[in-house]
Amino acid sequence: MSHVPVMLSEVVRLLAPRSGGVYLDGTFGGGGYATAFLEAAPCTVWAIDRDPEAIARGASLAARFPGRLHLINGRFGDMLDLLAERGITTLDGVVLDLGVSSFQLDDPARGFSFRSDGPLDMRMGSGGPTAADLVNTLPERELADLLFELGEERASRRIAREIVTARGQAPIASTARLASIIRGVMPPDRSGIDRATRSFQALRIRVNDELGEIERALDNASRLLSPGGRLIVVSFHSLEDRIVKRFMADAAGRAPSPSRHDPRGLTTRAAPRFRLLTARPLRPGTAETTANPRARSARLRALERAVGERAP
Ligand SMILES: C[S@@+](CC[C@H](N)C(=O)[O-])C[C@H]1O[C@@H](n2cnc3c(N)ncnc32)[C@H](O)[C@@H]1O
């Protein structure tokens, strides 16, 4: 199955690519967003993906837009350095479409899916510990905390206990075995959501340091944007969205109330350097969620660097 870009028309409308503009697609994936930007205006797109397979797939698109699409295999949390090495220090827009792509999810060999059997890997890129390394080595307590904090899994303690018992018999090496251990802990609920969903999400976030990546990316992006430049982020669960929401609110000057030593905030509150474009997150319409269930949990937030402001 190919990857269907989520909230594509909203993203293109907010980015508003213009002739000569330079944009970063920090999550190239199947190239759905990048293609739309390149088609919308004679602009240049830099595209990052930590997955070498996504970058390799992008070669034909780069050939279709000679000199206008530049592909980089790396992490979006390193965008400032990755672009500086290539002589790029300012951008007219940055877009992040968080999470995994259908290419990754649907390939059992990548180990993301509890629906099919494969090695328990879950790395979007190469290098670093796999999900199997975590479930086979973390102390029970740490495993439980991880499932609770990154998966919001209420049965985290029981699942961690079962994992530790099971790995004592033989290392847990496959997605199917891990999923069956988790399912054995709780009865199915009426929601129809697979019982392994939250634990798999937690492991994936930790294996790829997804929340740390988002924090670094938002900071990097805010330094790269030129006046009028826009940052657009599509997130898929509350942990991601919370980080994006806070960052954007702070950047736009909606910081917590000023200090009691300076109640009017005269010294602490500089004029906002950014403007929120989405007071509330945009959500996909029903037509999109019906056609593409992956879009159901999407939330889009956008920020603009104020005109007349320079990057810090
Ligand atoms: C949801 S897909 C993006 C789909 C894309 N917008 C499209 O239209 O085809 C997310 C992609 O981001 C990549 N990714 C996730 N975290 C990343 C990170 N920290 N750095 C670079 N790429 C990342 C994944 O490898 C995946 O290919």
Distance 158 CA to ligand 1 centre (A): 32
Distance 104 CA to ligand 1 centre (A): 10
pLDDT, the chain, mean: 93
At residue 189, the pLDDT reads 82
Ligand 1, pocket residues at CB < 6 Å: 3, 5, 27, 29-33, 48-51, 54, 75-77, 97, 99-101, 124, 213
pLDDT above 80: residue 257 = no
Distance 4 CA to ligand 1 centre (A): 13
Q: Counting atoms of ligand 1 from 1, which one is nearest the CA of 75?
A: 20
Distance 308 CA to ligand 1 centre (A): 32
Q: What's the pLDDT band for 270 if we cut at 50, 70, 90?
A: low
Average pLDDT of the segment spanning 82-87:
98
How do residues 1-56 score in pLDDT, each as one tens digit? 457 899 999 999 999 999 999 999 999 999 999 999 999 999 999 999 999 999 99
How far out from the chain centre does Cα 237 lie? 10
Q: Counting atoms of ligand 1 from 1, which one is nearest the CA of 25?
A: 6
Higher pLDDT, 127 or 185: 185
Q: What's the pLDDT band for 232 if we cut at 50, 70, 90?
A: very high
pLDDT above 60: residue 255 = no
Task: Pick the closest to residue 49 from 106, 104, 93 (CA basis).
Answer: 104
Average pLDDT of the segment spanning 215-220:
98
In this structure, which residue's CA is closest to atom 15 in ligand 1? Answer: 99
Mutation test residue for ligand 1: of 33, 38, 50, 83, the one with most atoms within 8 Å of CB: 50
Ranges assigned E (strand) in 63-148: 69-73, 91-97
Distance 265 CA to ligand 1 centre (A): 39
Amino acid found at 7: M
pLDDT above 70: residue 264 = no
Q: What's the pLDDT band for 126 if we cut at 50, 70, 90?
A: confident
Residue 151: which residues within 8 A CB-CB, separation 6 or more? 198, 199, 200, 201, 202, 203, 205
> Whole-model pTM?
0.93
Average pLDDT of the segment spanning 84-90:
98
Helix (H, G, I), strand (E, B) or coil at 91: strand
Q: What's the pLDDT band for 269 if we cut at 50, 70, 90?
A: low
Average pLDDT of the segment spanning 94-98:
98
How do residues 192-213 score in pLDDT, each as one tens digit? 889 999 999 999 999 999 999 9
